[in-house]
Amino acid sequence: MKDLTEGKEGKLIWRFAIPMLLGNVFQQLYNVVDSWVVGNYLGKEALSAVGASFPLIFLLISLVIGIAMGSTIIISQYFGAKDYDKVKVSIDTLYIIMFFASIFVTAIGLIFSRQIFELIKLPEEVIPEAILYFNIFMSGSIFMFGFHGTSAILRGLGDSKTPLYFMIISTIANIILDLLFVVKFGMGIEGVAYASVIAQAGALLTAIIYLNKTHKLIRISFLRLRFDKEIFIKSVKIGIPSGLQQTFVALGMLALFRIVNDFGTETIAAYSVAARIDSFASMPAMNFAAALGAFVGQNMGANKQERVKAGMIATLRMTGVISIAISILVIFFGHELMAFFSTDAGVVSSGETYLQVVGGFYIIFSSMFVINAVFRGSGDTLMPMFITLFALWIIRVPLSWWLSTIYGEVGIWWGIPAGWFAGMSLSLIYYFTGRWKLKVVVKHNDQ
């Protein structure tokens, strides 16, 4: 556990963000290894199937992850206010939410997977493998939710190192199982899915055993969990906007896939790979923003609002430098990055173009994420949802479709940074209104 209400703001956020960043690097290695194994051993149709599955997976889990984010905000603010009994009850309530949500989401996914893939016009030759991969992956969603919930709790308590250790274990297991199931046993795309499920289950089990023995506030006993209706309502109230925001993002990803699908399997495979590289490039911004959110939550809970602005400025500086460095890397070495995942010349060329268009605007993306983290940390999750709605559905998706009718697949790529710029501009305007300061969960006498 780490108290983020005392000490130099930038140093605290840096030290808190780096373990999360490393953890997410390992988490993304899940996807990288999957893509590398699929692309090099199973072909571009299988690569397209895996790539098309992730927006659907993200769509199904996004609302629940949003509620978990709401719980994290509550946990961090109660922890900042030193109300440890409320912290414990909030943790129990989150685990109960995640358990029942995982059952519901799995059922929905298994029932409607084919209909959704058909709705987004996934090529017919890709659909059977996409369904196979997706159904196996979703069968392990209870482990995925459990692990994400545990990581979110630890971040709310100021602990970003412990989830890193579990993620390293999970990633190593996933890599070994990928190679074993696909390369050694020839299991095909289902081997990739089984590897992910088993690795996630192992990570959750390891986390439960370790935390029960070592942590002061977390004791995971599923028969002794306490459900608090008031905290549940607060979690939903704060988390639903974040969840809806994530849902709209997932729907936007599916909408982009629908536009991309019109250009054939080659472009789908290129977009799938380039999006994986893109997710790596965006990780620093997302993790520093998550660190800032925990920092803001604790300081708002402790009624130290003067530290929030200093923390935001420090985070903008750090993510700005990192984003520029990543942009240079992606733009100048896009061909080599794409060639690592696929030997198909058309796939490599199309993905390289994507990276050259999108790669120059990562600093805009990082600024948007950092500013929105201030709102979420304070408990204001509604406005970021509206900003995302506008940037995604009024700017990015319509513009990508319109430009694709004029410039082909390159037009799709230009709609992405346009949406980022719109979101960053609106976030900056709302920040200066100061209205987000009124949403804090823990009220003080001077508020």
pLDDT digits (tens, 9 = 90+) for 332-378: 998 998 888 777 888 888 989 999 999 999 999 999 999 998 888 88
Residue 357 maps to a domain = yes
Closest by CA to 272, choosing from 26, 24, 63, 56, is 56
Using CA atoms, how far apart are residues 292 and 294, in angstroms rounded to an integer? 5
| Unique residue bearing structure tokens 């694709």 | 404
4: in domain? no
Report the pLDDT value the prediction gives residue 367, as an integer from 0 to 100: 94
**Looking at the predicted structure, is the pLDDT value of residue 441 above 60?**
no
pTM: 0.69
Q: Check residue 97 and give its pLDDT.
A: 84
The 3-state DSSP class for residue 379 equals coil
The predicted pLDDT at position 323 comes to 93
Residues 6+ apart with CB under 8 A from 212: 218, 219, 220, 221
Structure confidence at residue 394 as a pLDDT band (50, 70, 90): very high
Six-digit token pair at 22?
């490393």
Q: Percentage of the chain surpassing pLDDT 70?
A: 94
Q: Which residue has the tokens 């309530």?
A: 93
Split at pLDDT 50, 70, 90, the class of 1 is low
Residue 250 lies in a domain: yes
Cα 261 to Cα 138: distance, rounded to the nearest angstrom: 23
**444 assigned to some structural domain:** no
Range of the domain at 369: 9-439
Q: Do the beta carbons of residue 64 and residue 101 sit within 8 Å?
A: yes
Q: Is residue 42 part of a domain?
A: yes
Question: Are 373 and 290 within 8 A, CB to CB?
Answer: yes
Mean pLDDT calculated for residue range 422-438: 89
Mean pLDDT of 268-295: 84
Q: How confident is the model at residue 194 (pLDDT cuts 50, 70, 90)?
A: very high
Angstrom distance (rounded) from CA 83 to CA 327:
43
Q: What is the DSSP letter of 333?
A: S
DSSP state of 220: -
CA-CA distance, 75 to 70, in Å (whole number)?
9
**Cα separation, 432 vs 52, whole angstroms:** 39
Give the per-residue pLDDT at 164. Answer: 77
pLDDT at 444 over 60: no
Confidence of residue 2 (pLDDT cuts 50, 70, 90): low
Would you say residue 447 lies in a domain?
no
Give the closest residue to 384 by CA, choosing from 369, 399, 364, 365: 369
Q: Is the pLDDT of residue 143 over 80?
A: yes
Q: How many helices (H) and strands (E) does the chain have?
A: 16, 0
Phi, psi of 45 (to 5 degrees): -65, -45
C-alpha separations of 334 from 35, 70, 161, 272, 280 in Å = 16, 37, 31, 14, 13
303 or 171, higher pLDDT: 171
Q: What is the pLDDT of residues 50-81, one digit of tens each?
A: 777 777 787 778 777 777 777 777 887 787 77
**pLDDT computed for residue 47 by the predictor:** 73
Question: What total number of domains does the chain contain?
Answer: 1
d(CA 328, CA 294): 30
> What are the pLDDT digits (tens) for 101-114?
889 888 988 888 88
- Is the separation of the CB atoms in 294 and 155 below 8 Å? yes
Confirm whether 66 is domain-assigned.
yes
| Residue ranges of E strands in 185-234 | none
pLDDT interval class at 423 (50, 70, 90): very high
Nearest to residue 150, comparing CAs of 194, 204, 112? 204
Inside any domain, residue 395 = yes
- How far, in Å, CA of 173 to CA of 211, rounded? 20
Residue with tokens 């072909």: 43
Structure token pair of residue 92: 């129990």
- Mean pLDDT over each residue of the chain, to the nearest integer: 83
